[in-house]
Structure 1
Amino acid sequence: MNPGIMMASQEGTRTGRSEDVGRRLKYIAPLRNERTDATSEQADYLGLENIQSWTGKLLPIATSDTSEGDDSTTGTANVYYSGDVLFGKLRPYLAKAFHADQDGVCSTELLVLKPQPYMHPRFLFYSLLSPIFVGQVDASAYGAKMPRANWECIGSMKLPTPSYVTQRLIADYLDRETSRIDALVAAKEKMLALLEEKRAALISRAVTRGLDPTVPRKPSGIDWLGEIPRHWETKKLKYVVSKIGSGITPKGGADSYQSEGIPLFRSQNVHFDGLRMDDIVYVDSDTHESMSNSKVLDGDVLINITGASIGRCFYIENLHGAANVNQHVCIVRPEPMIETKFLYFTLRSDVGQRQIDLSQSGSGREGLNFEALGNFSIVVPPLSEQKTIIRYLEKTGNQSNEMLREMQQSIALLRERRSALITAAVTGEIPVEEMRP
């Protein structure tokens, strides 16, 4: 018997729920194998990216990011009906489950389960979101880059199955309690967004107006920019940098990546708050030398020029050894007239991000070419003022970062509490009497 069911059986005795007997998932909710031709553009199509991890909430806006490994382009989809429960077999650690309240079609990476009459759909839904169950499924997954679990293994796993009345009581209890937690998370996320907006506005004001509101001003010559300090200049980016260029896909693509060697920065490594090295890949020295035009130097600013993360940027500082970038990341190398960090703050401000938006064709953010980037208009103060602004923004940024970290930690704790509550309820750790309204 697996540990989760053993715990459930023991707790069932303590709480008076002696009927908590583990049953295999394939018997209490058999797989619905009904397929149809469909595309992800359909209004009723549900992809993995449309389901929020660990909550099962529906995300109404589909994303163009195909990193989920969805099969939406194949034209084949699973059919589901109101009352069915869906579970994502691809990257099971993401815990993507959904209780359908209407009919629809979905990715074949989502298993469609039909709860038996004695199984309450919401109880089954919460059981599938229990970290115990998700952990067991994830342990059975295969594949290094895009791990997925198969139904034979998932269907053989056991879940607690108390009486239908008890299941409904637990489901109602979890609906109430998770809603309260979700409301707290939403409020904190709103505060987090406001903090981010305040910081962004502060950066934009500093790099376009300076720190002294009393200095004489002049028209910038750009309608959306307005006035700037009289002694500042407006220049095209290409006139204050010595390089604008990106890398290429290494020969062999992902197969050329190594676990050690020379770092290769990709778009997922470049964020506004720093360069994240937890997902960095490496190439050998020969590959690095063959990409000589995209070698990274101290003082460079890296900016993502394709995909959903277009516009994200950060700078290189205290580089130890060599490094390179792929074709999705552009190197912007400043001339002595502009400080690296001032250029970074400018590109991440409304001045840079607005021009990135304006440079995109249509409604999507398809890509940013070097010519468009070079024609960006930026404001250039004297070097002494640039350094003063940098010190000011770093100081206020440290204060903002501390508040953001505290808020993020608070949200993380609430989400942990949510998951722990689900596990405790579906495995019998919480007495039934305590769940009544």
Structure 2
Amino acid sequence: MKLHSETYDSYKNAEGEWSVTIPSEWQEKRVKDLFRLVTDAAPANNDYELLSLYTGIGVKPRKDLEARGNKASSTDGYWIVRKNDIVVNKLLAWMGAVGLSEYEGVTSPAYDVLRQVKPEVDPRYFAYLFRTETAKKIFRKNSRGIMDMRLRLYFDKLGALTVPYPSSTEQKNIADYIDNKVTLIDKKINTLSKKVILYKKLRATNIDEIAFSGLVKDTPLKPSDDDAIGKIPSHWKVLRLKEVANIQNSNVDKKSHDHEKTVKLCNYVDVYKNDFINSSLEFMQATANDSEIAKFQILKGDVLITKDSETCEDIAVPALAAETLEGVLCGYHLAQIRCNNKIILGEYLFRLFQSQRFGKRFTVFAKGITRVGLGQSAIADALTPIPPLEEQLEIINKIRCSTELTDKAIGNLSRQIEKLKELRIAVVNDAITGKIRLKNTTKRGSAA
């Protein structure tokens, strides 16, 4: 099947909360007239192949979950899910946690399962629609709860929403178009992401060679008492991180009922995407009280690391505060480490976290099921090799020179990935709201 695009003859403003412009010929219908809430209870013997795990596309096979140590002790309250059901994470729907199941099995009570009520409803179209930025805003408004982390979208609210409703042919054409385009974009993103991983491994290897062997050839070595670190120069100290730095896990989120003042928040994404945190970044606006402002203000030399993530591999990813950031606080899902500069320099510790031998060992301490977290004690008790300050400065300078080319390559690749992600969003939004008109141009009798 081949599709070509043009625009529709006229457009109108969608009614209700879905405040977008759509083609005049499209209808609008309530979600509950298109989907029913599945209340088919899972069998008690727990012999279905699947358990729930939000991944952006719904659920994963049990074998994939058990490979990560994720198991359910009981299926009490679980729902049966079928292929092409829409799976909605009630707690995170407002963040886009909506997916289309590729399998048959069961899903946990944390999820609502929506099943089409008519064959002319294409669930793929609505799965894409429910993950748009417009949908996220509407879902957040209709979620019930006090704080962002406790908001829940229930089907009584979701079902009452009026959504754009193209013809069944158009739904299929739009879903096919997005599937094809997104697949191509995701392949490019995946290729570039693998290159980033390779460059980061190369950088970590370079840092290992510099940061743990000392600067003088044939320097006598001694055991560090940590198998992951191995031997280090005999004149270095080995101390627990809590002995040379202040470590605190941030609890500052975007919004809370007792917050008083407007601040900016350095969050997980800022740290994950940037080696260095500075005023050129666009930080999220938030609110905080005086105690939080005093406690989590970011100062030059602070090392921020990811302490919560979806995978162990993304735990303890570091960033260095390159300057003091007035009014910018360390946000939720991050740990903030402030070094005693008389013993250890912030940039030296930052480079240690970038290394394989020091940084990657934290992944084994992360615990969780659908998300993993790193406890403060695991960070605080980490044995840390500490050269004299003068040697730390020399190591820092040598690492800067050694990683300059790989840092540039990682930066260029990361920017390409971000542009592709922006393109992905644009492709979905333009097709899902009818900014382009997609027609099947395959002639009868020709190959699809």
Q: TM-score, normalised by structure 2?
A: 0.67
Distance 2:112 2:358 in 1: 43
Match of 2:196 among 176, 192, 196: 192
Cα 1:211–1:145, aligned 2, differ >3 Å: closer, same or farther? Answer: same
Match of 1:120 among 111, 119, 122: 122
Structure 2 gaps of 5+ residues are 1-13, 443-447
Cα 1:226–1:431, aligned 2, differ >3 Å: closer, same or farther? Answer: same
Cα 1:348–1:23, aligned 2, differ >3 Å: closer, same or farther? Answer: same
Distance 1:286 1:22 in 2: 46
Give the structure 2 partner of residue 14 of structure 1.
none
Deviation at 1:192, TM superposition (A): 1.7
Deviations 1:89-130 (A, max 9, x none): 333332222223433222334332221122123233333334
Give the structure 2 partner of residue 145 of structure 1.
148
Give the structure 2 partner of residue 393 of structure 1.
399
Deviation at 1:329, TM superposition (A): 5.2
Greater mean deviation of Cα atoms: 163-172 or 257-266 = 257-266
Deviations 1:360-416 (A, max 9, x none): 899997647489836x26262x54332122123345556655543433332222223
Name the SS for the 2:88 alignment partner.
Answer: strand
Distance 2:213 2:83 in 1: 56
1:373 correspondence with 2:381: yes
What is the aligned residue count? 407
CA contact (8 A) 1:241 1:334 kept: no
Question: CA RMSD of the aligned region, Å?
Answer: 5.2
Give the structure 1 partner of residue 187 of structure 2.
183
Match of 2:435 among 426, 429, 434: 429
Deviation at 1:78, TM superposition (A): 2.8
Alignment of 1:341-380 (within 5 A): 341-353=347-359, 356=362, 367=375, 369=377, 373=381, 376=383, 378=385, 380=387
Match of 1:154 among 152, 158, 175: 158
Instruction: Name the aligned partner's letter for residue 124 of structure 1.
Output: F
Distance 2:379 2:20 in 1: 64
Cα 1:244–1:359, aligned 2, differ >3 Å: closer, same or farther? Answer: farther
CA contact (8 A) 1:97 1:129 kept: yes
Cα 1:182–1:398, aligned 2, differ >3 Å: closer, same or farther? Answer: same
Instruction: Name the aligned partner's letter for residue 378 of structure 1.
Output: P
Match of 1:207 among 200, 206, 211: 211
CA contact (8 A) 2:267 2:330 kept: no
1:46 correspondence with 2:52: yes
Deviation at 1:206, TM superposition (A): 1.5
Alignment of 1:9-88 (within 5 A): 9-10=23-24, 18=25, 20-36=26-42, 44-47=50-53, 50-52=54-56, 60-61=64-65, 75-88=76-89
CA contact (8 A) 2:143 2:154 kept: yes
CA contact (8 A) 2:300 2:325 kept: no
CA contact (8 A) 1:296 1:325 kept: no
Name the SS for the 1:429 alignment partner.
Answer: coil
CA contact (8 A) 1:244 1:370 kept: no
Structure 1 gaps of 5+ residues are 11-17
1:384 correspondence with 2:387: no
Distance 1:111 1:89 in 2: 7
Greater mean deviation of Cα atoms: 74-83 or 278-287 = 278-287
Deviations 1:42-63 (A, max 9, x none): 851213xx222xx658594589
State percent identity of aligned pairs: 20
Q: TM-score, normalised by structure 1?
A: 0.69
Deviation at 1:221, TM superposition (A): 3.9
Give the structure 2 partner of residue 13 of structure 1.
none
